[in-house]
């Protein structure tokens, strides 16, 4: 009934006959994690490729049609085109690697997805995790469908004033150059539907992004049928107004479920990433009652057994809670339709620790899903502790929440040149075996010279990237020279470089290293062993303390006593992250324990040989082995003590190790740690290992159980 074809994206220009697959590849994010895919677009026109911001659709629109025609005569280009086309076809049509015991289809719901900078529908870690999960599901051939939101105004673009204050500017998603397709209805119009149960009615239309073999469907409320207030529902990520936020989550959960039904996508496993889309669980109950004719209790039982809830926060206070009045306003018809009374309906969101507070979305996830997980082993302990009254009826120490530690998609986050070098050592097929630690022991064969040279290339690229950004600001915005200094124009690729790039918020303590400026100055300005620090990260627009921390860092970077060796890089996002995680020497992470549920940027750094230096929070207690980075402080947090521990580490271990050279003028001790970092982190903290756990612990057991019901 629903039509889907690539011509639905009228953003694409007409391509010459014989080059049609270029369009198909441009509309599938597969190319973003395949070096030969990237190279194909670069070959078309290297200069325009850069100018397009590495966005193939923009490139194909920028390029004059004669130039595209002329490509048909370039033998070298055509050879590469045919080769990449063959790779792409093989990938898309490959038999799944789990063909033996394929799980039932999985619908993966999340409020944000971090996939590529041409689709700004993410704010941070949660989104990148969701994006990496879709990519890995595609690589593994798992039958997954993603459901999320189109945010026409994206997240905030960060602009920092001369005074260091973050001013918000919205990044508007350019629907004409984003790799998105309209989903069409049977008449060829944009598929639009009414979200059930919101009164007055709200409509959403549907877009699709191809993530390799996995489709991601995005709901968009910024359409003519809606009045301005409703058009705004999906305009930004995480709106602060509670009423609008509730409407957003109704559209995501209930509207998202409805969209799958309209698309005729049959699925049996519902995976909810964080509480935002948890209303999908109610809609699923309703579908079991109304379509499958189950009793209410049987429907609830079925939903509980076939749905998965992943929590990402170590704080009850950080979960979404809606007043009972607001809930009644939207759901009073709904509970009647389900045959429930108000009390029973509200009980699904009742937090025993705060029963008056309202309806809690995380509690809803826990209560309507039997399979629940936290995102690192440490976070699982914390989660079991903070929600223990919810599971008071369960036996002691048996709170049913498991830990599945996050992982990062290796082909996305590993530098292409490093990947090529790993191909040479582990064999071309290593990605298929990437979760096997034995395979990675062969990294020992990588020569010092090779590792060091590659790292230096990444470092120079990062410094050039930062300087080029400042140069553009210098010429376009006439910024003050002190601002140019603070934004990194004086960075030096030969100096030991510490990176701190993450959300600017109090618990992450971005300014911990500024605790004692005199001591820091001695470390930074050491005559023969200097150090530089690169900061990046956005503060949430409503996070005043976060903005103040950012301002303090920016002002310190403007202070001439640090001689241009502290830099703040504006507008952290997917593109900047790739430069920083590869180009820094040390990746600093000093959250207050136990506030970091997992953290993934440190994994991205570590697999590239950028050494992780972190408090023992999130994934690091599992990842740190004494030789692959450093641990700051002890099991609990104290700012003064942790700062002291960090300075001592820098003075006594990190700086000397970096500047102690062997007879080849290379820091052999440092390089040994880089090798150990790649060897120990890549197999355990890649998304392959993570997805194998989701598959083994949740997807396959659920599939087996469902199969027995059907017989
Ligand atoms: C990986 C990533 C994050 C998440 O990093 P954390 O370590 O969890 O803070 C945030 N933003 C970007 C751009 C990323 O690539």
Is 582 a pocket residue for ligand 1 (Cβ < 6 Å)? no
* Residue 439: per-residue pLDDT: 95
* Residue 7: per-residue pLDDT: 45
Is 497 a pocket residue for ligand 1 (Cβ < 6 Å)? no
Take atom 1 of ligand 1 and give the residue whose Cα is closest. 601
Nearest-atom number in ligand 1 for the CA of 573 is: 13
- Determine the 3-state secondary structure of 29 from DSSP: helix
Centre of ligand 1 to C-alpha 502, Å, is 6
* Residue 266: per-residue pLDDT: 82
All structural domains of the chain: 6-93 (no CATH), 106-406+692-710 (3.40.50.2000), 410-685 (3.40.50.2000)
Query: Alpha carbon of 645 to those of 27, 228, 243, 638, 649: distances in Å?
Result: 49, 53, 45, 10, 6
3-state SS of 179-234 is CCEECECCCCCECEEECCCCCCCCEEEEEEEEECCEEEEEEECCCCCCCHHHHHHH
Question: In sequence order, which residues have a C-beta less than 8 Å from that of residue 200 and are 6 or more positions away?
Answer: none
Centre of ligand 1 to C-alpha 328, Å, is 37
* Residue 95: per-residue pLDDT: 67
Task: Band the pLDDT of 347: cuts 50, 70, 90.
Answer: very high
Our mutation pick for probing the ligand 1 site, out of 32, 114, 571, 583, counting the most ligand atoms within 8 A of Cβ, is 114
Is 411 a pocket residue for ligand 1 (Cβ < 6 Å)? no
* Residue 4: per-residue pLDDT: 45
Centre of ligand 1 to C-alpha 46, Å, is 29
Structure tokens at 443: 């990294």
Radius of gyration of the chain (CA): 25
- Asked, as a colleague might, if the bond just before 542 is cis with ω within 30 of 0, I would say no
pLDDT tens-digit series, residues 393-424: 887 667 789 999 999 999 999 999 999 999 99
Query: Which 8-state DSSP code applies to residue 368?
Result: H
Is 583 a pocket residue for ligand 1 (Cβ < 6 Å)? no
Q: Are the C-beta atoms of 216 and 113 separated by less than 8 Å? A: yes
- Determine the 3-state secondary structure of 24 from DSSP: helix
Our mutation pick for probing the ligand 1 site, out of 114, 115, 125, counting the most ligand atoms within 8 A of Cβ, is 125
* Residue 16: per-residue pLDDT: 87
pLDDT at 9 over 70: no
* Residue 14: per-residue pLDDT: 82
Centre of ligand 1 to C-alpha 481, Å, is 30
Instruction: Dump the DSSP string for 630-643.
Output: EEES-SS--HHHHH
> Can you say whether the dihedral through the CA atoms of 466, 471, 473, 479 is positive or negative?
positive
* Residue 643: per-residue pLDDT: 98
Average model confidence (pLDDT) across the chain: 93
Is 409 a pocket residue for ligand 1 (Cβ < 6 Å)? no
Q: Could you give the angle at the alpha carbon of 588 between the alpha carbons of 584 and 589, nearest 5°?
A: 145
Take atom 11 of ligand 1 and give the residue whose Cα is closest. 124
Task: Band the pLDDT of 545: cuts 50, 70, 90.
Answer: very high
Residue 429, Cβ neighbours under 10 Å: how many? Answer: 9
Residue percentage of the chain with pLDDT more than 90? 82
* Residue 464: per-residue pLDDT: 97
What mean pLDDT do residues 32-50 have?
95
Centre of ligand 1 to C-alpha 124, Å, is 5
Q: Which of 447-451, 459-463, 633-637 has the lowest mean pLDDT?
A: 633-637
Centre of ligand 1 to C-alpha 23, Å, is 30
Is 125 a pocket residue for ligand 1 (Cβ < 6 Å)? yes
Task: Band the pLDDT of 267: cuts 50, 70, 90.
Answer: confident
What mean pLDDT do residues 130-147 have?
96
First to last CA, the chain: 30
Q: Of the candidates 320, 156, 171, which has an alpha carbon nearest to the alpha carbon of residue 247?
A: 320
Instruction: Dump the DSSP string for 56-117.
Output: HHHHHHHS-HHHHHHHTT-HHHHHHHHHHHHHHHHHHHPPPTT-TTPPPPEEEE-S-----T
Q: Of the candidates 677, 685, 684, which has an alpha carbon nearest to the alpha carbon of residue 627?
A: 677
* Residue 240: per-residue pLDDT: 82
Is 604 a pocket residue for ligand 1 (Cβ < 6 Å)? yes
* Residue 6: per-residue pLDDT: 43
Nearest-atom number in ligand 1 for the CA of 537 is: 11
What mean pLDDT do residues 600-612 have?
98
CA 319 – CA 477 distance, rounded (Å): 40
Q: Are the C-beta atoms of 217 and 208 separated by less than 8 Å? A: yes
521, 526, 529, 535: CA torsion to nearest 10: 20
Centre of ligand 1 to C-alpha 708, Å, is 41
pLDDT at 557 over 80: yes
Place of tokens 């990449």: 84
* Residue 561: per-residue pLDDT: 96
Nearest-atom number in ligand 1 for the CA of 501 is: 9
Take atom 3 of ligand 1 and give the residue whose Cα is closest. 125
Centre of ligand 1 to C-alpha 600, Å, is 6
What mean pLDDT do residues 473-488 have?
92
* Residue 403: per-residue pLDDT: 98
Is 120 a pocket residue for ligand 1 (Cβ < 6 Å)? no
Q: Which of 224-238, 369-383, 613-627, 652-666 has the lowest mean pLDDT?
A: 224-238
Our mutation pick for probing the ligand 1 site, out of 119, 600, 690, counting the most ligand atoms within 8 A of Cβ, is 600
Is 600 a pocket residue for ligand 1 (Cβ < 6 Å)? yes
pLDDT at 10 over 60: no
* Residue 196: per-residue pLDDT: 85
Structure tokens at 541: 């627009």
* Residue 626: per-residue pLDDT: 97
pLDDT tens-digit series, residues 181-213: 999 999 999 999 999 888 888 999 999 999 999
Of 19-23, 173-177, 463-467, give the range with the top mean pLDDT: 463-467
CA 652 – CA 243 distance, rounded (Å): 53
Centre of ligand 1 to C-alpha 445, Å, is 31
Task: Band the pLDDT of 158: cuts 50, 70, 90.
Answer: confident
Centre of ligand 1 to C-alpha 117, Å, is 13
What share of residues in the chain are helix, strand, coil (percent, to 5)?
A: 50, 15, 35
């Amino acid at each position: 009934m629903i039509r889907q074809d690539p011509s639905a994206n009228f953003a694409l220009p007409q391509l010459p006959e014989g080059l049609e697959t270029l369009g198909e590849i441009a509309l599938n994010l597969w190319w973003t994690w395949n070096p030969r895919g990237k190279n194909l677009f670069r070959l078309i026109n290297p200069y325009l490729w850069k100018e397009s911001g590495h966005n193939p659709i923009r490139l194909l629109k920028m390029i004059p049609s004669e130039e595209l025609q002329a490509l048909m005569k370039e033998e070298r280009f055509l050879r590469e085109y045919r080769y990449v086309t063959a790779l792409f076809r093989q990938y898309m049509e490959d038999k799944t690697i789990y063909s033996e015991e394929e799980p039932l289809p999985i619908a993966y719901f999340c409020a944000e997805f971090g996939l590529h900078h041409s689709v700004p529908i993410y704010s941070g870690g949660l989104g990148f995790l969701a994006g990496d999960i879709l990519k890995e599901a595609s690589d593994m051939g798992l039958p997954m469908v993603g459901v999320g939101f189109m945010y026409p105004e994206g997240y905030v673009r960060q602009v920092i004033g001369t005074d260091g204050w973050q001013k918000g500017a919205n990044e508007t998603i350019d629907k004409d150059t984003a790799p998105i397709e309209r989903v069409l209805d049977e008449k060829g119009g944009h598929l639009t539907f009414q979200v059930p149960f919101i009164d007055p009615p709200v409509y959403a239309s549907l877009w699709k992004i191809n993530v390799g073999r996995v489709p991601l469907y995005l709901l968009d409320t910024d359409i003519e049928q809606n009045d301005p207030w409703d058009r705004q529902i999906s305009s930004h990520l995480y709106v602060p107004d509670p009423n609008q936020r509730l409407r957003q989550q109704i559209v995501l959960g209930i509207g998202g479920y409805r969209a799958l039904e309209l698309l005729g996508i049959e699925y049996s496993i519902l995976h909810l990433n964080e509480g935002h889309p948890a209303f999908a669980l109610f809609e699923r109950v309703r579908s079991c009652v109304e379509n499958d004719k189950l009793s209410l209790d049987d429907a609830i039982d079925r939903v509980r057994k076939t749905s998965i809830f992943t929590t990402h926060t170590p704080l009850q206070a950080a979960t979404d809670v809606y007043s009972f009045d607001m809930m009644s306003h939207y759901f009073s018809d709904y509970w009647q339709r389900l045959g429930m009374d108000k009390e029973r309906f509200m009980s699904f969101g009742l937090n025993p620790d705060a029963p008056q507070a309202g309806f809690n979305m995380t509690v809803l996830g826990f209560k309507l899903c039997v399979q629940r997980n936290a995102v690192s082993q440490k976070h699982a302990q914390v989660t079991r502790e903070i929600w223990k009254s919810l599971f008071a009826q369960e036996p002691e120490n048996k709170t049913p929440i498991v830990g599945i530690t996050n992982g990062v998609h290796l082909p996305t986050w590993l530098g292409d040149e490093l990947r090529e070098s790993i191909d040479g050592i582990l064999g071309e097929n290593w990605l298929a075996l990437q979760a096997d630690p034995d395979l990675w022991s062969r990294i020992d064969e990588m020569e010092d010279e090779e590792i060091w040279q590659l790292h230096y290339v990444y470092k120079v690229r990062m410094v050039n990237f930062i300087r080029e950004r400042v140069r553009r600001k210098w010429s376009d915005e006439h910024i003050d020279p002190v601002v140019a200094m603070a934004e990194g124009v004086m960075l030096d690729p030969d100096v030991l470089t510490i990176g701190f790039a993450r959300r600017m918020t109090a618990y992450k303590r971005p300014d911990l290293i500024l605790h004692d400026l005199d001591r820091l100055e001695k470390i930074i300005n050491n005559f023969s062993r200097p150090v530089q620090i690169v900061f990046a990260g956005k503060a949430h627009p409503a996070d005043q303390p976060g903005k103040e921390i950012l301002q303090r860092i920016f002002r310190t970077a403007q202070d001439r006593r640090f001689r241009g060796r502290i830099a703040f890089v504006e507008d952290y996002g997917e593109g900047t992250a790739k430069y920083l995680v590869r180009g820094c020497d040390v990746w600093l992470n000093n959250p207050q324990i136990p506030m970091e549920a997992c953290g993934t940027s440190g994994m991205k750094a570590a697999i590239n040989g950028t050494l992780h230096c972190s408090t023992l929070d999130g994934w690091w207690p599992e990842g740190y082995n004494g030789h692959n980075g450093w641990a700051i402080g002890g099991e609990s947090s104290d700012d003064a003590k942790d700062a002291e521990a960090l300075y001592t580490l820098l003075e006594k271990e990190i700086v000397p190790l970096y500047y102690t050279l062997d007879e080849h003028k290379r820091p052999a001790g440092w390089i040994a740690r880089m090798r150990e970092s790649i060897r120990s982190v890549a197999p355990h903290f890649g998304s392959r290992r993570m997805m194998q756990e989701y598959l083994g612990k949740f997807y396959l057991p659920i599939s087996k159980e469902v199969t027995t019901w059907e017989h």
